């Protein structure tokens, strides 16, 4: 199965669908990522804060899949913002992953209270120049945070990875990023089970019409919106199902019905106030 790829603003290619390993138990990560790679996944999204980079690295090393075919993202945790700390952090992540570079390195949260994300972004520019990462981006940045980066550094992030699902569709952010050529990655793409997304008529009716699961419908909604998505699952059968979303297409009416679920309600933390 070939997953479509998008071209980032730095010219690099990224698979539009991947596997997220947030809250994947460290002891299970190697096995599950290995199974995902065997299924055809080629995009793995991890982070220092997930405590499972080493398992991701072992899975990649033993998979038999050429390194250049696997897109690996990891993220800088909040306590490591600042130039010196960030450099130590990426070196630690690479050591745990067993890699000489990652494909994408992200600032995990802006933490405006620390006021270090601009300094950290300049360090990220250096990491790219040094070859420690091929692309650089951010996570959980609002238009205000992004605007400050652009104004003070002139370097446009390749991606912004944010909470995004039908009830929190991030319309204003997506307008801003589209204007600046920043790709959006959706975390929590299925709402993390924190509201009855699958029971809504918009999703349930589309699932019945196409003979697929509600989860597949929502993943397809992300893809057709041009979003990069990596649903997390620790169940191989669901991992396989989440990958099997290229044999059908939502109609304009079905897309509009799911779009109408947007209520502007987060299920995660607010980037302006999060201090973890």
**Mind listing the pLDDT tens digit for each residue in 143-190?**
999 999 999 999 999 999 999 999 999 999 999 999 999 999 999 999
Separation between Cα atoms, residue 90 and residue 274, nearest integer Å: 22
- Nearest Cα to Cα of residue 145 among 161, 167, 123: 161
- Residue 76 inside a domain? The answer is yes
> What is the span of the domain harbouring residue 133?
5-192+226-233
Is residue 156 one of the residues assigned to a domain? yes
Domain count within the chain: 1
Residue 27 is predicted with a pLDDT of: 85
The backbone region for 108, taken as left when phi is positive above 0, alpha when psi lies in -120 to 50, beta otherwise, is alpha
Cα–Cα dist 23/26, whole Å: 8
Residues 192-220: what's their mean pLDDT? 97
Output DSSP code: residue 190: T
Is 105 a residue of the active site?
no
219-255 tens-digit pLDDT:
999 999 999 999 988 899 999 999 999 999 999 999 9
Distance (Å, whole) CA 46 – CA 77: 11
Residue 87 has pLDDT above 80, yes or no: yes
Q: Which of 50, 105, 117, 195 is catalytic?
A: 50
Report yes or no on 17 lying in a domain: yes
pLDDT at 134 over 80: yes
pTM as predicted: 0.97
- Angle, to 10 degrees, between the axis of helix 236-243 and the axis of helix 26-39? 40
Q: What is residue 265's predicted lDDT score, i.e. its pLDDT?
A: 93
Percent of the chain with pLDDT over 70: 100
In a domain, 210, yes or no: no
Domain of 41: which CATH number? 3.20.20.100
- The arithmetic mean of pLDDT across residues 182-206, rounded, is 96
Residues paired with 20 in a beta bridge: 45, 232
CB 20 within 8 A of CB 49: no
Would you say residue 53 lies in a domain?
yes
pLDDT at 25: 87
With left for phi above 0 and alpha for psi between -120 and 50, is residue 226 left, alpha or beta?
left
- Residue 215 lies inside a defined structural domain of this protein: no
The pLDDT confidence band at residue 97, using thresholds 50, 70 and 90, is: very high
Residues 6+ apart with CB under 8 A from 159: 8, 14, 104, 106, 135, 137, 138, 182, 183, 184, 185, 228
Examine the pLDDT at 1 and tell me if it is beyond 80.
Answer: no
Q: Tell me the pLDDT band of 26, cut-offs 50, 70 and 90.
A: confident
Can you give the pLDDT at residue 12?
98
Answer whether residue 219 is part of any domain.
no
Phi-psi map region of 23: left, alpha, beta (phi>0 left; psi -120 to 50 alpha): left
| 214 within some domain | no
């Amino acid at each position: 199965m070939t997953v479509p790829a998008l071209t980032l603003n730095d010219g690099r290619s990224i698979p539009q669908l991947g596997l997220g390993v947030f809250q994947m138990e460290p002891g299970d990560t190697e096995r599950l990522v290995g199974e995902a790679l065997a299924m055809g996944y080629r995009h793995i999204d991890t982070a220092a804060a997930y405590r499972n980079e080493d398992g991701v690295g072992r899975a990649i090393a033993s998979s038999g899949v050429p390194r250049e075919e696997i897109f690996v993202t990891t993220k800088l945790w909040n306590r490591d913002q600042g130039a010196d700390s960030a450099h130590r952090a990426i070196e630690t992540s690479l050591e745990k992953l067993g890699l000489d570079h990652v494909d994408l390195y992200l600032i995990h949260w802006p933490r405006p209270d620390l006021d270090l994300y601009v300094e950290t972004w300049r360090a990220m520019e250096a990491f790219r120049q040094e070859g420690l990462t091929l692309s650089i981006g951010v996570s959980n940045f609002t238009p205000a945070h992004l605007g400050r980066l652009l104004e003070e550094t002139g370097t446009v992030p390749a991606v912004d990875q944010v909470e995004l699902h039908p009830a929190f569709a991030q319309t204003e952010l997506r307008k801003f990023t589209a204007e600046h050529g920043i790709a959006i990655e959706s975390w929590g793409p299925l709402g993390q089970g924190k509201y009855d997304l699958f029971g809504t008529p918009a999703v349930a009716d589309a699932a019945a019409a196409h003979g697929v699961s509600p989860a597949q419908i929502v993943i397809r909604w992300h893809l057709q919106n041009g979003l990069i998505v990596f649903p997390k699952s620790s169940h191989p059968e669901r991992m396989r199902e989440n990958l099997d979303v290229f044999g059908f297409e939502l109609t304009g009416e079905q897309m509009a019905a799911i779009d109408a679920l947007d209520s502007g309600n987060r299920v995660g933390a607010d980037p302006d106030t999060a201090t973890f």
